[in-house]
Structure 1
Amino acid sequence: MRMKHLASPLMPPSEMGEKVRQFPWEDTPLGPILSWPATLRIAVDMLLVSKVPTCLVWGAQLSTIYNDAFNEMLGKRQVLGCSFDDVLGESWEKVGPILFKALSGEATLIENLPLIINRNGASEPSYFTFSCTPVRDESGAIVGVLDKVIETTAHVQSEQQWRMLAFAHEQQVRARTADLEHLWQLSGGMAQDVKNLLGGICSSLALLEQRLAQGHLERLDTCIESARGAANQAVALADRLLAFSCFQALDPQPVNVTQLIDGMAAVLSQSLGSQITLQMHLELLPWTVLVDVEQLQHALQSLCLNACDALPNGGRVIVSTGNVRYDACEQGHDGLLPGDYTYVQVEDNGCGMGPEAVVRAFEPFFTGKSAGQGHGLGLAMIYGFVRQSGGRALIESEPGKGTRVRLLLPRHLTQD
């Protein structure tokens, strides 16, 4: 009796074994269980005792019988006796060709196949390894396929996460290497600058010593002023480095930026030269800001000199001030908080910069100038000073359309 065969003591009791015995197979293409051929009974016995998730696909209608392990992968879905394409649903498009290869006599193994699986009422991305083996009857004809399935989702996701971590680590190593290269460049450049300044001081002192030894007391003030000038430049260089690193002790004061910049007009015009026209668009009633005057003056001069470098054949530089209000927090790590700001802006109609240079413009050590013409600290130091003052520095530029740099400084209400 077939039922007795399926309940053979050789087969340990299982949930799916009982469901197979009780299922109304007479209502399916397989027909009553007592009429099943020996090949089908043996195949069912094999899959029911297997601990590997296995599904038997039988006949032209692709009827399915599966074991407990396969049932666990299905979740709450009950698809015993259904056609295999219905069991797989939207995954059939990928798995179907594998099954048909086995039905044609070719055993197949596909590892880590990505599928979207609907189980427990929800679709989720998963990965599976399929091993499909043809099943032949007594005459050698292929009558079904034993499909062993191993879910590898956890393994694949673990590998993906490992690759992501490895990639992130590689990027960190590259970034650190780049930082070291930048530091080497900076060290070399700063060492040369300091050497030049110290050389000027030493030369002036040597000349002063020589004249004193010879009793020539005239024009000693020239040597003293030359040494003092080089020393002051060294102090200014140290101050700029401190501002860049945000460790400089600023001396913030309530400032009317329009009055400050209006007083610098002559100096700025002279620094730009005769080929460049300087225009001033200044707000009559700017909001008061709390800022270090000398650092703001230095920032404005540096921005004008950068604009001058972008105008080798002459052009126009516009220095402007104004008030602006931000009602919502700006997005991004460098976003502004809501509030009132006064801006100082320098705009030129020079050569401009591409998008990659714009993104990196405030990075320390980044420069578009030729080797030996800049260390890439100018904009970085301005950025550090403005951040230390509670504001932000923004830049806009396009090749051939000039550059606009805006320094946003928070309104100082208590002194307004």
Structure 2
Amino acid sequence: MEPIGDPQDVAEREGPTFLASGGELGRLIAGYDWAATSLGPTEVWPAHLRTTVGLLLRSPVPIVTLWGEDGIMIYNDAYSVFAGGRHPRLLGSKVREGWPEVADFNDNVMKVGLAGGTLAYRDQELTLHRHGRPEQVWMNLDYSPIPGEDGQPAGVIAIVVETTGKVRAEAELRVTAGALAELNAELEQRVEERTRERDRMWRLSTDVMLVADFNARIEAVNPAWTALLGWGEGELLGQDFLALIHPDDLAATLREVGNLSSGRTTLRFENRYRQKDGTYRWLSWTAVPDERFIHAVGRDIQAEKEAAEALRRAEEALRQSQKMEAVGQLTGGIAHDFNNLLTGITGSLELLRSRLAQGRLTDLDRYITTAHGAAGRAAALTHRLLAFARRQTLDPKPTNVNRLISGMEELIRRTVGPEITVEVVGSAGLWTVLVDPNQLESALLNLCINARDAMPDGGRITIETANKWLDDRAGHERDLPPGQYLSLCVTDTGTGMTPEVIGRAFDPFFTTKPIGQGTGLGLSMIYGFVRQSGGQVRIYSELGQGTTMCLYLPRHHGAEELADHAAALASAPRAERGETVLVVDDEPTVRMLVTEVLEDLGYTAIEAADGTAGLRVLRSDARIDLLVTDVGLPGGMNGRQLADAARELRPGLRILFITGYAENATVGHGLLEPGMHVLTKPFAMEALTTRIRDLIEDGA
């Protein structure tokens, strides 16, 4: 509940709200110096004056209030059009001074109205100066007293309907008495109907208007309820308006009613009301409370909601179209690069076969080297594609980035060449990050190569690390949640980038290098890897001023894992008697290669072509010391599911995934359980033997 303070403070907080949605006059009234009038500032206006002004501002009919003995004028937008050139100086003026040419007429109006009487004029002829010259006009005028808090008239309210056009038309049509009589009857009927409807301002509104108590009991509604929602007045009076609210909007509506009961004003609150036909319609409410009731006006926003939904669907269709365009770019680039690589592989193998058939055994190593190099480039391209798509299998470890850079510094210096000066600025006390160190090394080397290529005449590369605390603003600027991050930045003194190049730098196959010197996947690979690791990449560059590429990686609260390379042996030890490995892969060639490696090491190998067959072996009494399985398996059970089933049957079983493609979800969103490891295809046989040896020994 809002604290109760000084009435003056409450008035200052609530005062302007009754002017909401009041159009131009609402803004003029809010800015007017009422302290110079007998009314005083708006903050001290009585409730009946604020309610009257709030309602007349929303009326499409010209309405003016003449307040107090002097008849201080307050009116709405429609009346400002009627006033012509006298607007806006009429606002806040005394009615006698505002319309001096009809001062006697208005004196009588004020006398009768303040005495509690009403006046009604039809086709009243007056001469007014509205545009700097006298005009003869005719009007329907209805004057009624406005009761104050003590029940006595505090002012007069006037509804003004100009009938000048009608009166002049009648004069022109008098030449035909029958036509004149018929026209008069019709016009009088229309004027009378309009007058009856507009006697109270809410009857004139196309917005639904509602008076209800704080228990949601409906006390009064205007005719717009019937026109807009189909409900008649008799069906609504005394009913609970919460019964008409959409179930999904009920909780928010109850909170808003609670706010109103605490004295707060509602502005632009949206909910759905049930129509008589059972459908729902969106309304936007403005509501003000008094001591007993809620006074609310609801505007129909159904069309706006439907337009917003149509726009959302159009944007979704545009995003889908952009995705398809990106797929087209990817497939075109993949086809181009892989066709080149396959040509090198197949051509070398054909020449190798031809030379063997001819008995020419010289230079065979050249063809083998060529085929092997092309295969390696194809594997690198695949890894970059998976990194871009964020679908590569990561092996994250707690990593000290300063130590990683130190281990790579000599390689980086040799790679960029003697014309480039490399400077490393490592922050002391650098936080640990959870990241795949091999991917981070690849990303850092790639950034340094890009920096080298941006400085053809030499220059300086600065590699810098730092701890970063990102607050809400800094996180929003980098599209990251606030928190602690490590930054790894590579800065060059090269040519820089234009805003257009920065905007496309992470697009697949986009490159500014000459044809044949870049695939356009380097930065997209880095972007995919960093985003998959929970971080972000940002480019800071100006043309001719160099470029800074910053990787932001979330802090990991844990110690660095140091690899023990001292235990690595020059050759793999033989298996102990009976040690057995289960190999599950749907590709016979892969099973054959892995099996031969295992047999060479003295292990017993059991083969299975799919997850179902592998599960049968696991359920048997056969000894299994290691499970080697592909991730993508046919038959409805993938490699991760097989591994989970194996752990249920044989707790602690060591598992090696061999895969060329794996969704993150399949291998645990990049986080593997203890005893689970990944080897990415294609792999060298030496890497396979080393990994098998490490896993078997670790599980012994």
Q: TM-score, normalised by structure 2?
A: 0.39
| Counterpart-to-counterpart distance in 2, 1:105 and 1:278 | 90
CA shift at 1:298, angstroms? 1.3
| Counterpart-to-counterpart distance in 1, 2:530 and 2:163 | 67
Q: Indicate the residue corresponding to 1:54 in structure 2.
A: none
CA shift at 1:170, angstroms? 4.1
| Counterpart-to-counterpart distance in 1, 2:63 and 2:451 | 73
Relative to structure 1, the CA distance from residue 264 to residue 160 in structure 2 (aligned partners, 3 Å threshold; closer, same or farther) is: same
| Counterpart-to-counterpart distance in 1, 2:457 and 2:323 | 35
Q: Indicate the residue corresponding to 1:212 in structure 2.
A: 356
- 1:283 and 2:427 correspond: yes
| Residue 136 (structure 1) aligned to one of 167, 190, 212 | 167
Between stretches 181-190 and 309-318, larger displacement belongs to 309-318
Q: Indicate the residue corresponding to 1:331 in structure 2.
A: 476
Q: Indicate the residue corresponding to 2:441 in structure 1.
A: 297
Relative to structure 1, the CA distance from residue 213 to residue 93 in structure 2 (aligned partners, 3 Å threshold; closer, same or farther) is: farther
| Residue 323 (structure 2) aligned to one of 170, 179, 182 | 179
- 1:320 and 2:308 correspond: no
AA of the residue aligned to 2:378: A
AA of the residue aligned to 1:259: R
CA shift at 1:187, angstroms? 1.1
Deviation per residue, 1:49-98 (Å, 9 max, x gap):
xxxxxxxxxxxxxxxxxxxxx989549x9957899x83315x66667559
| Residue 397 (structure 2) aligned to one of 253, 261, 278 | 253
Q: Indicate the residue corresponding to 1:229 in structure 2.
A: 373
Q: Indicate the residue corresponding to 1:123 in structure 2.
A: none
| Counterpart-to-counterpart distance in 2, 1:354 and 1:105 | 69
SS in 1 for 2:558: helix
| Counterpart-to-counterpart distance in 2, 1:357 and 1:93 | 55
| Counterpart-to-counterpart distance in 2, 1:317 and 1:206 | 44
Q: Indicate the residue corresponding to 2:185 in structure 1.
A: none
AA of the residue aligned to 1:338: G
| Counterpart-to-counterpart distance in 1, 2:162 and 2:350 | 89
SS in 2 for 1:406: strand
Assess if the C-alpha contact under 8 Å between 1:268 and 1:304 holds in 2: yes
CA shift at 1:173, angstroms? 3.6
AA of the residue aligned to 1:377: L
CA shift at 1:156, angstroms? 9.0
CA-based RMSD of the aligned residues comes to 4.3
- 1:88 and 2:76 correspond: yes
Structure 2 residue ranges without an equivalent (≥5):
1-54, 88-129, 138-160, 173-190, 199-203, 209-282, 284-298, 561-700
CA shift at 1:313, angstroms? 3.6
| Counterpart-to-counterpart distance in 1, 2:162 and 2:450 | 67
Q: TM-score, normalised by structure 1?
A: 0.62
CA shift at 1:333, angstroms? 8.4
Deviation per residue, 1:258-299 (Å, 9 max, x gap):
222223223323333444332222235533322212211111
Relative to structure 1, the CA distance from residue 135 to residue 343 in structure 2 (aligned partners, 3 Å threshold; closer, same or farther) is: same
SS in 2 for 1:250: coil
| Residue 545 (structure 2) aligned to one of 380, 401, 404 | 401
Assess if the C-alpha contact under 8 Å between 1:186 and 1:375 holds in 2: no
SS in 1 for 2:393: coil
| Counterpart-to-counterpart distance in 2, 1:219 and 1:93 | 99
Assess if the C-alpha contact under 8 Å between 2:63 and 2:79 holds in 1: no
Relative to structure 1, the CA distance from residue 156 to residue 261 in structure 2 (aligned partners, 3 Å threshold; closer, same or farther) is: same
SS in 2 for 1:134: helix
CA shift at 1:223, angstroms? 2.0
AA of the residue aligned to 2:167: R
Relative to structure 1, the CA distance from residue 227 to residue 104 in structure 2 (aligned partners, 3 Å threshold; closer, same or farther) is: farther
| Counterpart-to-counterpart distance in 2, 1:177 and 1:131 | 57
Relative to structure 1, the CA distance from residue 132 to residue 205 in structure 2 (aligned partners, 3 Å threshold; closer, same or farther) is: farther
| Counterpart-to-counterpart distance in 2, 1:132 and 1:212 | 110
Relative to structure 1, the CA distance from residue 220 to residue 95 in structure 2 (aligned partners, 3 Å threshold; closer, same or farther) is: farther
| Counterpart-to-counterpart distance in 1, 2:76 and 2:497 | 54
Assess if the C-alpha contact under 8 Å between 1:283 and 1:322 holds in 2: yes
Relative to structure 1, the CA distance from residue 95 to residue 79 in structure 2 (aligned partners, 3 Å threshold; closer, same or farther) is: closer
Higher relative contact order (CA 8 A, sep 6+): 1
Relative to structure 1, the CA distance from residue 413 to residue 158 in structure 2 (aligned partners, 3 Å threshold; closer, same or farther) is: closer
| Counterpart-to-counterpart distance in 2, 1:132 and 1:269 | 92
Assess if the C-alpha contact under 8 Å between 2:64 and 2:76 holds in 1: no
Superposed, 1:10-25 pairs within 5 Å as none
| Counterpart-to-counterpart distance in 2, 1:151 and 1:331 | 43
CA shift at 1:382, angstroms? 1.0
| Counterpart-to-counterpart distance in 2, 1:380 and 1:361 | 8
| Counterpart-to-counterpart distance in 1, 2:312 and 2:338 | 38
Larger-Rg structure: 2
Assess if the C-alpha contact under 8 Å between 1:362 and 1:380 holds in 2: yes
| Residue 531 (structure 2) aligned to one of 376, 384, 387 | 387
CA shift at 1:160, angstroms? 5.0
CA shift at 1:306, angstroms? 2.2
Superposed, 1:110-149 pairs within 5 Å as 134-136=165-167
SS in 2 for 1:136: helix
- 1:267 and 2:411 correspond: yes
Deviation per residue, 1:164-201 (Å, 9 max, x gap):
55554444444433332332222111111111111111
Q: Indicate the residue corresponding to 1:413 in structure 2.
A: 557
| Residue 388 (structure 2) aligned to one of 240, 244, 248 | 244
| Counterpart-to-counterpart distance in 2, 1:132 and 1:177 | 58
Assess if the C-alpha contact under 8 Å between 1:392 and 1:407 holds in 2: yes
| Counterpart-to-counterpart distance in 1, 2:536 and 2:488 | 11
AA of the residue aligned to 1:350: G
AA of the residue aligned to 2:555: R
AA of the residue aligned to 1:276: I
| Counterpart-to-counterpart distance in 2, 1:348 and 1:181 | 33
Superposed, 1:60-71 pairs within 5 Å as none
- 1:188 and 2:332 correspond: yes
Relative to structure 1, the CA distance from residue 132 to residue 250 in structure 2 (aligned partners, 3 Å threshold; closer, same or farther) is: farther
| Counterpart-to-counterpart distance in 2, 1:369 and 1:133 | 78
| Counterpart-to-counterpart distance in 2, 1:152 and 1:376 | 58
Relative to structure 1, the CA distance from residue 295 to residue 383 in structure 2 (aligned partners, 3 Å threshold; closer, same or farther) is: same
Q: Indicate the residue corresponding to 2:652 in structure 1.
A: none
Relative to structure 1, the CA distance from residue 285 to residue 81 in structure 2 (aligned partners, 3 Å threshold; closer, same or farther) is: closer
| Counterpart-to-counterpart distance in 2, 1:193 and 1:292 | 27
Assess if the C-alpha contact under 8 Å between 2:63 and 2:75 holds in 1: no
| Counterpart-to-counterpart distance in 1, 2:533 and 2:541 | 24
Q: Indicate the residue corresponding to 1:114 in structure 2.
A: none
Assess if the C-alpha contact under 8 Å between 2:329 and 2:508 holds in 1: no
Assess if the C-alpha contact under 8 Å between 2:465 and 2:488 holds in 1: yes
Structure 1 residue ranges without an equivalent (≥5):
1-69, 107-129, 141-145
